Chain A
Amino acid sequence: MNNEYKKAYLREKLARKEAEKILEKKSLELYTLNQELLVANQGLEEKVKKRTNDLEKAKDKAEELAKIKSEFLSMMSHEMRTPLNSILGYTYLLEEQNMNTECDEYVRKISYSGKVLLSIINNVLEHSRLEGSRFSLQEVTLNLKKELEELCSIFKVDILKKKLSYNVIIDENCDEIIRIDFKKVKQILINVIGNAIKFTNAGEVKVKASYEEEFISVSVCDTGKGISKEDLSKIFEPFVRSLKEDNFRYEGTGLGLSITKRLIEVLDGEIEVKSEENVGTCFSIRVRAPLASHPLKLNDPEGIIKINKKLNIIIVDDHQVNAMLLSKILSKQSLSALVLNHGLDCLNELKENPMYDIIFMDLRMPDIDGIETTKRIRTEIPSFKGEIILLTAESYGPEDNYLKYFDGHLGKPYSIKDVLKFLK
């Protein structure tokens, strides 16, 4: 190789080495930057972790507060239902008396307001139950068309009073035997149709129902005052009522639609609403209801019950006003009852004479409560063959363990019809 080529070769070789050094330097810089990025990323991950942790804590706290709120509402509702039982019961007894027209009018107003108050309390209680986990599905087998027709018919009186047009279209495909917790469907539709009537002063309320592919679809449309865009996004939130002044003319807790939505979710369904102010509102509801696999088994027909037999009854309740009320209701059926205020009194009485047919047993009592008393009756007095009915202002479902000790549950406030069911 001649000298000139050798020089050029060496020059190129040095250039390559120089380039390699630059590349190495860049690699090192890249490594350093990468490490910094890793550290920053780690810091970021720690921040996210901390933030997630904080959020979880806040969520737990919020859930705890919601639970406390629900328990408080549930307790308050219970406390209110006990005196309300007396108010409604005695009002009923007063209505039965032949008083002068003026007094009749006052009693009717007390009765009406009492029922409104009861409905509000029931809503609050229902809401707290649905917020928590104390609910379950009680599916029944039924003919959908028949039940929907019956349900829609209960609004006819209100429709007539408001001079509205009422258009109910129940599709023929509803004529199917299905299984669903219809009590919840009733609650949903009573709420939505009731609202439509409540907020419509002229025009029409239209209910349209159909059944397809295991889903019940119901639309409830009205020509009422409508809902503003602002309110529309919030109507399913609890305790939300339209802030418009004239809305305060209408009774309610602002819980109805929140309960409705929750009930629909429980039934694996959905609800949609479209509304235009001063034009009307349309609710569309879909809930899942499979076809029944067994033939329809009819429930006992509910009707007027006449008690023809003589029954030996005990009422055990420390709340004397309520105990007297039940006693009065029974006396209307020419039945008498022994009223006792303590569980121990009941045990003593049964030891002397176990030949009673029914015991109405209050839950919360001093000394020993209704459950303890019932357990002791079952074990200590085997000769007692009658039924023990739990009598309480608590709201119970079949999921409650309490009920296993009793033959039935009579919730306060109770109607005459409720009481008579146990006397058949």
Chain B
Amino acid sequence: MKGIVFTELVDMMEDKFGIEMVNKVISQSNLKSGGVYSAVGTYDSEELEKLVKRLSEETKIPVPDLVHAYGKYFFSVLKNNYSNFFDKPNSFEVLKSIDSHIHVEVKKLYPDAELPKFDHIEEGNVLKLIYQSERGLSLFALGLIEKTIEHFKEDISIEHNVLSENGNKAEFVLTKNNE
């Protein structure tokens, strides 16, 4: 998993819970990397699970909620560093371009990045996104989608259905409410 996912998680922990919490979580998570992350590096995704689990234990916030919250937080990272991803007229256009544009650009920077797959079907005012990833982080994706819609100030309801037991496959049904 690319290092930026780790560095930004550490930043979020620091922002929300303080540097002492970061040190505590890292030191108690028994990480192979020792918690030394760089955005351009690549690390075992198991470390992310350990960090989130440990943070959940420390903060008493359930893991799904933390992952969801991190997705929302990560939107700001993308917005600040890669604003061109959002140079589109609306959220549907941004979300439809995840595979065809955003991930292509990410691959330019990180050729070895393992990215989730987003298929889409658009019918009238409904956009269905099919998420597939070995990481099973569809809640992280949900956070990003919600923040994208919020960015465009649109009134869109989201239905999130996990399609496989391990969470590797999920669908998001997005319906524009004001049309």
A residues engaging B (CB < 8 A)?
Answer: 1, 6, 9, 16-17, 19-20, 23-24, 27-28, 31
A23 vs B109: C-alpha distance in the bound complex, in angstroms?
A: 9
A28 vs B7: C-alpha distance in the bound complex, in angstroms?
A: 20
Contact (Cβ within 8 A) B109 A28:
yes
Contact (Cβ within 8 A) A27 B109:
yes
Q: Identify the interface centre among B20, B38, B109: most chain A CB within 10 Å of its CB.
A: B109
Q: Identify the interface centre among A6, A17, A20, A27: most chain B CB within 10 Å of its CB.
A: A20
Give the Cβ gap from B13 to chain A, nearest Cβ, in Å.
13
List the A side residues contacting B110 at CB < 8 Å: 27
Contact (Cβ within 8 A) B40 A20:
yes
**Number of A-B contacts defined by CB within 8 Å:** 24
B1-15 residues at the A interface, CB under 8 angstroms? 7
Q: Beta-carbon contacts of B96-137 to A below 8 Å, as 1s and 0s?
A: 000000000000111100000000000000000000000000
> B109 touches which one: A1, A17, A24 (CB < 8 A)?
A24
B61 at the interface (CB under 8 A from A): no
Contact (Cβ within 8 A) A24 B40:
yes
Query: What number of B residues sit within 8 Å (CB to CB) of A?
Result: 10
List the A side residues contacting B7 at CB < 8 Å: 20
B78 at the interface (CB under 8 A from A): no
Name which residue of chain B comes closest to A31, CB basis.
Answer: B108
Known: A9-B19, A20-B7, A24-B40. 20 other contacts (CB 8 A): A1-B19, A1-B20, A6-B19, A16-B38, A17-B39, A19-B38, A20-B38, A20-B39, A20-B40, A23-B40, A24-B39, A24-B109, A27-B40, A27-B109, A27-B110, A28-B108, A28-B109, A31-B108, A31-B109, A31-B111
In the complex, 12 of the A-B residue pairs with CB atoms within 8 angstroms, ordered by the A residue number, are A1-B19, A16-B38, A20-B38, A20-B39, A23-B40, A24-B40, A24-B109, A27-B40, A27-B108, A27-B110, A28-B109, A31-B108
A213 vs B109: C-alpha distance in the bound complex, in angstroms?
A: 66
Give the Cβ gap from A377 to chain B, nearest Cβ, in Å.
81
List the B side residues contacting A6 at CB < 8 Å: 19
List the A side residues contacting B111 at CB < 8 Å: 31
